[in-house]
Amino acid sequence: MNFSAEGAVTAEQVSPIHDRHVAAGAKFAAFGGWSMPLEYAGAGVLAEHTAVRTAVGIFDVSHLGKVRVSGPGAAEFVNRCLSADLGKIVPGQAQYTLICNDDGGVVDDLIAYLVTPDEVFLIPNAANGAQVGAMLAAAAPPGIVVVDEHTQHAVLAVQGPNADSVLAGADLPHGHAYMSFVLAEVAGAPVIVCRTGYTGERGYELVTPSAAAPALWDALRVAGEPYGLQPAGLGARDTLRTEMGYPLHGQDLSPSITPVQARLGWAVGWQKEAFFGDAALRAEKAAGPVRLLRGLRAAGRGIPRAGMVVRDAEGEPAGVVTSGTYSPTLKTGIALALLRPDLPEGAAVAVEVRSRSEQFLVTKPPFVSAGVREP
C-alpha cells in the first residue's frame, strides 16, 4: 500500500495561526479533531455572516484535509475512484467530487485540484482525510503514491463581494474563472489561489505551507481593512452554507446517504466506465431513491435543528432534518431535510421543534441569491 501519513493528525490539532485567533478573542470549538474558531469577540455569528454577504470575510479552514496523489497517470487513477469526471477539466482547474463506498454512500465530499496528468491535490473534510487517503492507496497500482499532507498546509478563505479587492491589495492573483486556480507567492512562500468556497459568495481559498500561514493571514488582514474584512468562524460558515443548501458531511451526506439521495447527481460522472460505488448508484438512480434532500423554510417562528422529525399534512412521518439554523439573511428558520420523494415543492409540512409542531414549506435551495459564479 503506497500510503504515507507523514502529515496526518494524531491528536486534537490547532491551526498554524492559532495565536492570531487567540489575539482576536476567538471562541473555539472542536471540529473534526481540530480546535478551530467558532466566532470572534466583538462580532459573533450574525455580524460575521452579514460581513461575508455584504462586504468580505476571512476564514481559517486549515482543518480541511490535504491528500496528494502522484505518479504516472495519477489523474486517470483518481478518475477511476472518485465520482465526478476528472476528464472534463484541465490542469489549473478544480472539481467538486465524492468518494463513495460499495453501497453508494458518501465517505466524503472533496475538492480535486488537477495539477498535472500525473498529480492531483485533494482537499477532503477534516475528519475524513486519512480514510480518503487509505481508500485511494488500497486501490492504487504500482507507481502511484498517496500522501496524507494534512498538517503540512494551511487553508485560508476570503469570501464576499469585496474578495477581489482584498486579494489585489495583497498582490495576489484574482478574477480568474470559477473553480480554477493560480500559483502565486507571498513573502517568498508559495500560495495556491483557487476561486471557490463554501459560502455562496464570490471568493477564494488559498493553500500555503503551514509555516507561511501567519504572514499570509497578516497580509490579507492589512489589505482587507479598507474593505471591511471581518474574521469569521465556523458558526458563520455553517449559516452561510446552509442558506446556499450546501451539504455538510456527517449531516446531509454520510456513508449511509448517497449522492442520488442528496441530489448531487451532477457530481457523478454517469458516463464513466467505473468509480467507487458505481454499481449501487446506477441501480439506485434507475429505481429512484426512497428519500431526497430538500430545503425547508419556516412559515412561522420555528428554528429547526438536525434530528428533528418532519411530518406531512396528514401527520404521517415524512423525513428528518439533517441541518437546521436561523437564516441571518432571511431572518427565519431554514433547514435541509431528507424527505419522502413524493412531497412536491411548496408542500406544507410540520417539524417537531421541542414540544411543539412548527409549520414549514418544502423549498428548493439555495434559500438566498449569491454571487459565487459571477464573472
- Contacts with 36 (C-beta within 8 Å, 6 or more apart), sequence order: 15, 28, 29, 60, 62, 63, 233, 234
The pLDDT score that the predictor gives to residue 11 is 58
DSSP per residue, 13-79: EE-TTHHHHHHTTEEEEEETTEEEEEEETTT-HHHHHHHHHHSEEEEE-TTS--EEEESTTHHHHHH
**Cα separation, 211 vs 214, whole angstroms:** 7
pLDDT along the chain (375 residues), means of 10: 53 91 96 95 97 98 98 98 98 98 98 98 96 98 97 98 98 97 96 97 98 98 98 98 98 98 98 97 98 97 96 96 98 98 97 93 95 81
The pLDDT score that the predictor gives to residue 1 is 37
- Alpha carbon distance, N-terminus to C-terminus of the chain: 43
17-74 tens-digit pLDDT: 999 999 999 999 999 899 999 999 999 999 999 999 999 999 999 999 999 999 999 9
Per DSSP, 253 falls in state B
Percent of the chain exceeding pLDDT 90 equals: 94
Asked if 125 contacts 45 with a C-beta cutoff of 8 angstroms, the reply is no
245-286 tens-digit pLDDT: 999 999 999 999 999 999 999 999 999 999 999 999 999 999
Angle 343-347-350 (CA atoms, 0-180°, nearest 5)? 95
Query: Containing H/E element for 193?
Result: strand 189-194
**Cα separation, 120 vs 136, whole angstroms:** 12
Domains with residue ranges and CATH for the chain: 1-288 (3.30.1360.120), 290-363 (2.40.30.110)
Which cell numbers hold the place of 338? 431528507
The pLDDT score that the predictor gives to residue 84 is 98
Asked if 302 contacts 345 with a C-beta cutoff of 8 angstroms, the reply is no
pTM, whole model, 2 decimals?
0.95
